Amino acid sequence: MIRRALIALVGLTCLGAAATAAQPDRSFGDTVVVSEVLLDVLVTDKEGNVVVGLDADDFVIKENGNPVDVTHVSFYSTRYAPDHLTDGAVQEIPASRYFVLYFHDQRFAAAGHHQLLRRQLDAGRYSRRWVENEMKASDWVAVVGYGAKLQVHQDFTQNRVDIMKAIEAASTGKNANPDWRRDEIPPGQPSLLRYLPEGKKLRKETKRMYDGIRLVAEATGHIVGRKNLLLFSTGFGEISPGGLTTRPDERYYPDMEQALNDNNVAVYPIDLTPIGTDHLQSAFLNVLASDTGGYYYQNFVNFDTPLRRIADENTGYYLISYRAEHPSGKEGYQEIKVETRQKGVNVRSQKGYRYGT
């Protein structure tokens, strides 16, 4: 998660202390806020294996094309090795993985297309099998569905039985149980429901898929670490002029993308379109994955492939910190670019963060 901890308010001036005392009428320059930015960076080789052993000298981070000074690098791992510092290695810190299984209900789109509906049911079946057999004890999983509105079928939990029941409901288009109370959520436990609108307000605020994904991303902001949103969908992008492909809808996409990046949520679109079928929405889904540090999966034989690959590549990531300055009283979105000096590896991270109030 990108955390912006206020460090200092610095008056920018060319005067030293003595000069300031001698010339009290000299006005100060602009005031800036110095914040600490934390990036969760995933580094994998060509086979998708996590690359370990990198340090600050291996990373290049740029804001507005200018390199920033990396202040610290740690490696967060699900291997649960003891914290340690060794020569030439960064600190390894135990970490949980966080997954949101997001089922975009295709029942209306599937009218007359039985293969599409079958793929949605297969996605649920393979997801349940992954939870039962391969989910780690330290993993946290939430399950949501979207038809005409966002529904939370299961808040973050480590209970496999509850997760599998929720997947069954979401993948078959059933309604979620609306009878939940915030005071029943255990203190300190990661939660979507604690930070989402309640009741009719949730329906009113999630009339579009863009809104549903944005609110889910913002609801995870309290969780420190990389979050992975597995989006089972055929896409929801805007048809481009000429009708040959799709693109992000500029009325809604920027807010969604910024929320995903600011809260360190990587989107992994898992295409429900039957294998071997080319369709217009693939371009949009690929953009969504690229813009958030995820990966787009299409044309796979069964859902075991994306589920296992996503889990495997999230067994470890680097937490990189640096300091950034922005004008006091201003707010906006800062784009960033993360690279590595290592050859033959893939680097994925969020591509920006919000700053200001």
CATH 3.40.50.410 for domain 98-313 = yes
Amino acid occupying residue 337 = K
Whether 3 and 320 have beta carbons less than 8 Å apart is answered as: no
Q: Are the beta carbons of 321 and 72 closer than 8 angstroms?
A: yes
**Cα separation, 40 vs 43, whole angstroms:** 10
Q: Is 298 helix (H, G, I), strand (E, B) or coil?
A: coil
For 130-139, write each residue's pLDDT tens digit.
Answer: 999 999 999 9
pLDDT of residue 8: 37
Report the pLDDT averaged over residues 281-309: 96
Alpha helices in the chain (DSSP H): 17-22, 114-133, 160-171, 199-205, 209-219, 253-262, 282-292, 304-313
CB neighbour list of residue 38: distance below 8 Å, 6 or more residues apart: 1, 2, 3, 319, 320, 321
Closest CA to 213 of 179, 241, 237, 183: 237
Predicted pLDDT at 244: 83
Q: Which H or E run includes 32?
A: strand 31-44
Report the run of H or E that residue 74 belongs to, with start and end. strand 70-77
User: How far apart are alpha carbons 217 and 227 in whole angstroms?
Assistant: 9
pLDDT exceeds cutoff 80 at 262: yes
Q: What is the pLDDT of residues 73-132, one digit of tens each?
A: 999 998 654 444 444 457 788 899 999 999 999 887 656 677 888 999 999 999 999 999
Alpha-carbon span 237 to 311, nearest angstrom: 26
Q: Could you give the CA distance from residue 235 to residue 289 in angstroms, rounded to a whole number?
A: 12
Would you state the structure tokens that stand for residue 274, as one six-digit string?
A: 């039957």
* Per-residue model confidence (pLDDT) at position 14: 29
pLDDT, tens digit, for every residue of 221-259?
Answer: 999 889 999 999 999 999 988 888 899 999 999 999 999
Q: Where are the alpha helices (DSSP H) in 12-134?
A: 17-22, 114-133
What residue type is 316 in one-letter code?
Answer: G
330, 356 in Cβ contact below 8 A?
Answer: yes
Is the pLDDT reported for residue 5 higher than 70? no
With contact defined as beta carbons under 8 Å apart, do 102 and 232 qualify? yes
pTM for the whole thing?
0.88
Q: Which residue bears the tokens 């086979």?
A: 47
pLDDT of residue 29: 57
Task: Count other C-beta atoms under 10 Å from residue 97's C-beta.
Answer: 22
Whole-number Å distance between alpha carbons of 5 and 12? 20
Exposure of 259 by Cβ count < 10 A (0-12 exposed, 13-18 middle, 19+ buried)? buried
For residue 34, pLDDT beyond 70:
yes
Report the mean per-residue pLDDT for the chain: 87
Give me the residue label for tokens 């807010």: 255
Whether residue 134 contacts residue 128, with contact meaning beta carbons closer than 8 Å, is answered with no
Per-domain residue ranges for the chain?
5-16+28-95+316-355, 98-313
Query: Which residues does 336 contact at the CB level (< 8 Å), separation at least 6?
Result: 37, 39, 61, 62, 63, 349, 350, 351, 352, 353
Secondary structure letter of residue 176 according to DSSP:
P
Residue 188: pLDDT band by 50, 70, 90 thresholds? confident
